[in-house]
Amino acid sequence: MFRRRPIPAIVSECFRCVLLAAALFLGVIPAQGRAMPALPLRCNAPAWLKSSIQGSMSAVWRELQGSRLSRQAAVEALALVGSRLFPGFKVSLVNQKFVSMEPPHRWNWRLSLQMPEGSARLPEPCSTWIKNDIERALPSLREIVENVPPEALRWSAESFQSQIDKIIDEYIPGWRCSVRVHAEDLNVLLDLKLYLQPPLLLAFSPETLSASLPQLLTDRMSDKTLEYLSPLTGLPLSWISFHLAEMERWLEEKQLQNKWLKMLRASSVNDIAVKPITKVTTRIESTTYSFRGWFSVHAGGPARLEAGLHLGRYFPLGPKIPAEAYAEIVMGLEHWHVDGRAGLRFSPLEFMWLGLEGSTEDSSPLWYRVWLGRNRPGLYGWLRYSDDDDLEAAVGYRLNRYVAFELYYDNRQDDRISLRAFSNL
């Protein structure tokens, strides 16, 4: 018959505490909220790792305080638990009063944070933005591994990954990092590689608006805008939003490289709504000249076809009151009759222009004009009135930047009211 030997109390207590600390560290059971006895522990580790160690060791110490062990034996048990639960740290007793945990060596950590796949296709300066993001993130990444034994990353992998994700979210949002650690003697390489985090940008939908430039030119600018932005498809929406202001400035510079926009002294303002299908609204206006063409057809009376060309020169009439000197040519395409107009107009309100113009029309040489509406889809109206009581007016609805329909009135015609389809060129 074998004789059962009693297990020393300190060993059984240590075994129980190891299981308890492991459960707490892994989050299997929650830590209790009662008052914590003073923890006899000194831990030399970064804050993120130190808090995890102290949380588990504090739970162990609470249990040991409630046991029948003496304080000295409880401190010894705490040291034993620490050495079993946290390999990589040197655990020692100091004067039998407290436990010291510190790395046994000082490792030489090196970091490698690789550019994501596909970054080579990014245009400048977009590739520079992500390089700068990486450079800003590196000091914080070095800080979290400083004075950390490589072995410690095995049992703190989840907390370590959480710290990396937090830094990446701050400096390079929209990305995540895969982590690999290579250790050789006291030299350790932390190899990080960025990969995409959804949601991603799937496509761009550009639209270019202008009240001073021809539609053919704005359509060309929409095509160029899509060409400039297309390399950015597939990137994280969070990263695009992070660099949105820089992206809008870069896009403006690219657009204004167009020789026609340079000649017309145009300005560009972009509004980018970051979504999986990103709407890019560009407003391009000449600060000096206006140049537009149009074509119209009347229905509801004798059919009439007309085409027109507008040339203008802007100047300030006062603070925040723009004005324009303009000339127009209106051509009747049926009998090739041409009328010329020249005038001055100013805008006292954003949606209103008032003007005076001379005309070569047979009916009246001098006309007063009013324009109401904005250069966007919706209702608008205009009116011409002469000293001879001639009246020409219309109320219209602009469907898009190409087509509008007008209810047209002209008291000089036999059929005074007609429906006019109007197209910008």
Query: pLDDT by residue (tens digit) across 119-154?
Result: 778 888 898 999 999 999 999 999 999 888 999 888
Of 46-55, 128-137, 295-304, highest mean pLDDT: 128-137
| Helices and strands per DSSP (H, E), number in the chain | 10, 19
pLDDT at 7: 42
Looking at the domain assignment, is residue 325 inside a domain? Answer: yes
Strand-pairing partners, residue 179, are 192
pLDDT at 6: 43
Q: Are residues 143 and 98 in the same domain?
A: no
pLDDT at 341: 94
Q: Are residues 240 and 312 in the same domain?
A: no
Evaluated on CA atoms 374, 208, 232, 120, the torsion sign reads negative
Say whether pLDDT at 215 is over 60.
yes
Angle (CA) 349-309-224 rounded to 5° is 80
Please give the Cα distance from 90 to 151 (Å, whole number): 12
pLDDT at 250: 95
Looking at the domain assignment, is residue 2 inside a domain? Answer: no
Domain-ending residue, one of 196, 222, 252: 196
Domain count along the chain: 4
Q: Are residues 299 and 328 in the same domain?
A: yes
Please write the tens of the pLDDT for every residue from 376-418: 889 999 999 998 899 999 999 999 888 999 999 999 888 888 8
User: What is the arithmetic mean of pLDDT over 21-32?
Assistant: 45
Compute φ and ψ for 309, nearest 5 degrees. -135, 135
Looking at the domain assignment, is residue 411 inside a domain? Answer: yes
For residue 18, the one-letter residue type is V
Please write the tens of the pLDDT for every residue from 232-272: 999 999 999 999 999 999 999 999 999 989 888 899 999 99
Q: 78 near 61, Cβ under 8 Å?
A: yes
Please write the tens of the pLDDT for every residue from 151-189: 988 888 899 999 999 999 999 999 999 999 998 888 999
Number of other residues whose CB lies within 10 A of the CB of residue 112? 12
Residue 250 structural domain: 203-286
Looking at the domain assignment, is residue 1 inside a domain? Answer: no
Looking at the domain assignment, is residue 3 inside a domain? Answer: no
Q: Are residues 226 and 270 in the same domain?
A: yes
Q: Which is more confident, 368 or 425?
A: 368
pLDDT bin (cut points 50, 70, 90) of residue 310 is: very high
Alpha-carbon distances, residue 291 vs 152, 295, 297, 336, 346 (angstroms): 70, 14, 21, 22, 17
Please give the Cα distance from 340 to 337 (Å, whole number): 10
Looking at the domain assignment, is residue 275 inside a domain? Answer: yes
Q: Are residues 310 and 327 in the same domain?
A: yes
Q: Are residues 179 and 158 in the same domain?
A: yes
- 321-339 in b/e form (b: 16+ CB < 10 A) is ebbbebebebbeeeeeeee
pLDDT at 36: 46
Mean of per-residue pLDDT scores for the chain: 86
Say whether pLDDT at 30 is over 80.
no
Query: Taking each helix axis from N to C terminus, what angle separates 244-255 and 215-229, rounded to the nearest 10 degrees?
Result: 130
Q: Are residues 274 and 371 in the same domain?
A: no
Number of other residues whose CB lies within 10 A of the CB of residue 50? 14
Domain-ending residue, one of 71, 102, 133: 102
pLDDT at 121: 82
Q: 292 near 327, Cβ under 8 Å?
A: no
Looking at the domain assignment, is residue 95 inside a domain? Answer: yes
Q: 404 near 422, Cβ under 8 Å?
A: yes
Domain-ending residue, one of 68, 102, 136: 102
Q: Are residues 376 and 408 in the same domain?
A: yes
